[in-house]
Chains A and B, each alone.
Chain A
Amino acid sequence: MAKKKSGNVEFAPRGIGDEKSGAVQKGVDLPAATKSKHKDLGLSAAKLKAMYEQMYLQRRFEERAMQQYQKGKFGGFLHLYIGQEAISTGTTFALNDDDDIITAYRDHGWGLCRGISANEGMAELFGKATGCSRGKGGSMHFAKAENHFWGGYGIVGGHIPIGGGLAFANKYEQNGRISTCFFGDGAVDQGALHETFNIAQLWKLPAIFVVENNGYSMGTAARRHTVADIVDRADGYGMKSAVINGMDVFSVYEKMKEIADDVRKNSEPWFVEIRTYRYRGHSMSDPQKYRTKEELEEYQKNDPIERLKTYILENDIAKEAALEKIEEKVEQEVLDAVEFADNSDFPKDEELYEDMFVEDDPYFHT
């Protein structure tokens, strides 16, 4: 029986307004990073430099995108991945090129990792016909199906069953491919996740479900939207699980490779919680009143790109000048992409009616 008459009835746990101690609140607890060195992981100097270039590209691409958005070059939503680049990069390097990746709407980094060029990506943001989704998708729906990047999806948790379905097809075809499905911490509260986990475990689907826990479901801290540790959800389904430090690309690479090998060998799903931090707001319209500047700065000390750079320099894998050369190349690539997007044509009017159906001359109700 519920308690009778209390003067203080509350439901959702309070957020930042309740912090009185002045202590830095933490969005997520980062687990320890791997101690493995690049040679232990089988990563060559060339691979490390490629990783650095990829992460740097994602960062600069989005910084330029943000600038163009603020200049009014394009509209719609813009959800930035900045701070989380080690996850997309470490994972993509760990997977086979024909393994499937599907993600949510914070998808630019994933697209760049899977072969969407800066040009195609920026043009998509601008809504141009030269974009990766021909200007039909925008920021939330980057896709490159030929490279097994199935796209970004905009309904929180809605693509989790689809990730299971990609894995279903791979098991059906016995083609040796595995599927990976990424989503934010907000999605773990959706029923779609639980239905998919139950079926994936029951049917032994070769899938890795990964929550990129960046501490916030839009403006709601994880401790305010979900109970217990997110990773523990796996236990209820008897699913294998792991927690990874997502601010360290080696940690992501090492563990995701190990998990991918296991899934390929045993055809059983995993649930992985990769803890990370998003530097920017949920989207461009987010005043970020739910967290402090100190908290953000705390995580920026762990910046994944700086971390890799430091490693490369300290271990004498490349000289500062070599990294600067990569940075300059990327800066130019992104600037060129802005120019490319700006100069590209919008889709033609008749394209409004294209891509709805497979037929050349489909029926449209009027």
Chain B
Amino acid sequence: MAELQFREAIKAAIDEEMAKDEKVLIMGEEVAEYNGAYKTTEGLLDKYGYKRVIDTPISELGFAGIGVGAAMNGLRPIVEFMTFNFAVLAADQIINHASKVKYMTGGQIDCPIVFRGPNASAGQLGATHSVAYDSMYAHFPGLKVIYTSEPDDAKGLLKSAIRDDNPVLFMESEQMYGLKGEVSDEEDYIIPIGKGKIKREGEHVTLVAHGKMYHLAVQAAKELAKDGVECEIIDPRTVKPLDLPLIIESIKKTNRCVILDEAHPFGGLAAEVGFLIQREAFDYLDAPVQRVTLPDVCAPFAKNLFDLWYPSVKQVVDAVNQVTYRN
């Protein structure tokens, strides 16, 4: 095992896949000469040159679509967005084209492309830079969506994403790029898309948490352990395909569940997983499933309002207390 920062794990995945396959290239704003807005592509221009590491104008719709066309015509582009908040401008290419081209041509055209970049809030950045988009994209058939929480997952899953012959969205976080973690140094380390992981075992309650929310779950679990409540933490890692069997198996053991999601409450992952649990494990539940999400409100700037807005450890502890009838 080697200790890597999140950004180093991402860079290693891209580097290894570019070395392996000439058809893999990366394009995006500031990815080449600037070495990446968040340094996830540092050194790649020197290593692979201007043909395969390409700076784009601030033109998300344009370069995302060029990526889609290039993928259709035989290449394997990685399209980096400086944040998925900006990718909304490119949503037509992701939602209307990349996800649908194979189906509507009766299977004639594949679109092996990775759209990646940071997702969700990164602190006091205001209303337009703070939205979690993983559940929104997971809504659309034809897309795979990954939002990882730790460097090891990031490396193994990004390599899988680049090799996948379908369009994949791979989400990161500005606030996690500096996070360090042990990363497998197994040669050609791959984690299959669609497999979650039990990251903490516990018998009293299941916490489902991915992306940054995983770290909130870890803190809450530590607090709760002091009171003798043992949380089982499941990190789905892949939002879609969702590893539902892993979640259900855990619920059958703990009989209680709190879902953490960095998105707004309506129609997000928390809503979906909540539905699935009642369908698949209704008889095993000892309490209604609870969730901790953002409120149904835009991101505020003011520090005090931001702290109210962003999910907190206390909210998770309170939700656990609710499902365990401890309050």
Contact = CB atoms under 8 A, between A and B. Distances in A.
Interface of A: 100, 102, 131-137, 141, 143-146, 150-151, 153, 155, 158-170, 172-173, 191-192, 195-196, 198-199, 202-203, 354-359, 363-365
9 contacts: A143-B109, A151-B104, A158-B96, A162-B97, A165-B70, A168-B66, A169-B72, A196-B65, A359-B166
Contacts of B96: 155, 158
Nearest to B73: A169
A141 B104 contact: yes
A155 B92 contact: yes
Nearest to B56: A199
Contacts of B54: 203
B62 A192 contact: yes
Interface in B270-299: none
Interface in B65-121: 65-75, 92-93, 96-97, 101-110
A137 B104 contact: yes
Contacts of B102: 355-358
Given A155-B96, A365-B241, A133 B69 contact: no
A165 B109 contact: no
Interface of B: 25, 51, 54, 56-57, 59, 61-75, 92-93, 96-97, 101-110, 141-142, 165-166, 194, 240-242
B25 A150 contact: no
B70 A169 contact: yes
B85 to A, nearest CB: 18
Given A144-B108, A162-B93, 15 more contacts: A155-B96, A158-B96, A161-B69, A164-B69, A165-B65, A166-B72, A168-B69, A168-B75, A198-B62, A203-B54, A355-B105, A357-B102, A363-B194, A363-B240, A365-B241
Contact of B65 (A135, A192, A203, A364): A192
A358 to B, nearest CB: 4
Contacts of A364: 141
B61 A136 contact: no
Contacts of B194: 363
Given A153-B97, A195-B62, A356-B103, A145 B240 contact: no
A133 B104 contact: yes
Contacts of B166: 357-359
A163 to B, nearest CB: 6
Contacts of B63: 161, 195, 199
A150 B106 contact: no
Contact of B70 (A131, A153, A166, A195): A166
B92 A198 contact: no
Contact of A355 (B51, B70, B107): B107
A172 B70 CA distance: 9
Contacts of A198: 57, 59, 62
B72 A165 contact: yes
Contacts of A166: 69-70, 72-73
Contacts of A133: 104-106, 108
Contact of A151 (B67, B109, B240): B109
A165 B73 contact: yes
Contacts of B74: 169, 173
A158 B92 contact: yes
B161 to A, nearest CB: 14
Contacts of A159: 97
B103, B104, B165 pick with most chain A CB within 10 angstroms: B104
Given A145-B105, A162-B68, A192-B92, A169 B97 contact: no
B57 A202 contact: yes
Contacts of B61: 161, 191-192, 195
Given A158-B96, A161-B93, A195-B61, A131 B110 contact: no
Given A162-B68, A199-B59, A136 B104 contact: yes
Contacts of A132: 106
A172 B75 contact: yes
Given A198-B57, A202-B57, A136 B66 contact: no
A63 B63 CA distance: 39
Nearest to A351: B106
B165 A161 contact: no
A163 B67 CA distance: 10
A202 B63 CA distance: 12
A26 to B, nearest CB: 33
Given A132-B106, A136-B104, A136-B105, A358 B92 contact: no
B141 A356 contact: yes
B18 to A, nearest CB: 13
Nearest to B194: A363
A145 B108 contact: yes
A161 B72 contact: no
Contacts of A150: 72-73, 109
Given A133-B106, A151-B109, A198-B59, A356 B142 contact: yes
A102, A150, A169, A202 pick with most chain B CB within 10 angstroms: A169
Contacts of A100: 73
A155 to B, nearest CB: 5
B72 A162 contact: yes
Given A131-B106, A164-B69, A363 B241 contact: yes
B277 to A, nearest CB: 14
A69 B149 CA distance: 53
A102 to B, nearest CB: 8
A172 B109 CA distance: 19
Contacts of B97: 153, 155, 158-159, 162
Nearest to B109: A145
A126 B305 CA distance: 57
Given A155-B96, A199-B57, A357-B142, A164 B62 contact: yes
Nearest to A363: B241
Contacts of B72: 150, 162, 165-166, 169
A172 B93 contact: no
A151 B57 CA distance: 27
B102 to A, nearest CB: 6
A162 B69 contact: yes
B70 A161 contact: no
Contacts of B65: 158, 160-162, 164-165, 192, 195-196
Contacts of A199: 56-57, 59, 62-63, 66
